[in-house]
Amino acid sequence: MDDHAPSRAALRAAVAEAGGEVVGEAQRSAEALAMVTRARPDVAIFAVGLPDGDGVAAAAGVTTATNCPVVLFTSHTQDELVARAQAAGVMAYLVKPLRPAELAPALDLAVARFRETRQLKQTLEERKIIERAKGRLMERLRLSEDEAFRRLRRAAMNSRRPMVEIARAVLVSESVTEDLPSI
């Protein structure tokens, strides 16, 4: 996404030279999310300065709402901009003028970092679910932490399901029993 035609042309040529394909283009930040959602690219490349807004803010919207890594393409290298890009979830930074040999490694690195970050977030969320279920078992059955964990692990092994599924089931059953009227 860049409103500067020569930059877009150079980027298209570099992507083609690297064996890639441009699946969509946008010139305004307002078009970014819809275009990325529709085209579902492996990676999106955003310019910083756009006629209707900030490319970093648009990148933040895309990284939050989609499963697409974003690379920033800009001639600006101020520390403040790099910090904003990092906070927005941007996975790589290309500086204009584009050197075609740098494109493929930057895109490959962005995709790999994005996948790694997504996997880490998923693992953390699963760990939180397991910890909550373990806490509920400890409270309800008066178990030690180790015993609650062993029970979750044993149930997962016996049912041949991931431990996080068992933990979710424990939490759901706990919420169902809390909603039942006392007899």
Q: What is the model's pLDDT at position 48?
A: 85
Residue 181's pLDDT is what?
A: 63
CA-wise closest residue to 11 among 114, 96, 85: 96
Q: Is 113 exposed, middle or buried (0-12, 13-18, 19+ CB in 10 A)?
A: middle
Specify the pLDDT at position 183.
Answer: 56
Domains 5-98 and 119-179 share a fold: no
Q: Please give the pLDDT value at position 177.
A: 66
pLDDT in 10s for each residue of the chain, 183 residues: 555 677 778 888 888 888 888 998 888 888 888 889 999 999 999 888 877 878 898 889 888 888 899 999 888 888 998 899 999 999 998 888 888 888 999 999 999 999 999 999 999 999 999 999 999 999 999 999 999 999 999 999 999 999 999 999 999 987 776 665 665
How far is the C-alpha of 104 from the C-alpha of 83, rounded, in Å?
23
- Quick one: pLDDT at residue 179? 60
> Which residues are within 8 A (CB) of 27 and not within 5 positions of it... i.e. 6 or more apart?
1, 2, 3, 50, 51
pLDDT score recorded for residue 43: 93
Q: What is the pLDDT of residue 31?
A: 84
- Between CA 121 and CA 129, with CA 176 as vertex, the angle to 5 degrees is 15
Alpha carbon distance 10, 26 (integer Å): 15
Residues 6+ apart with CB under 8 A from 55: 1, 29, 46, 47, 48, 49, 72, 74
Q: Which residues contact 37 (CB under 8 A, 6 or more apart)?
A: 65, 66
Domain boundaries, the chain: 5-98, 119-179
What homologous superfamily does CATH list for 5-98? Response regulator (3.40.50.2300)
Torsion of CA 157, 158, 162, 165, to 10 degrees: -140
* Distance (Å, whole) CA 122 – CA 142: 29
Q: Can you give the pTM of this predicted structure?
A: 0.72
From the candidate CATH numbers 1.10.10.60, 1.10.10.10, 2.40.50.100, 1.50.10.10, the one assigned to the domain spanning 119-179: 1.10.10.10
Return d(Cα 126, Cα 94) in angstroms, integer: 34
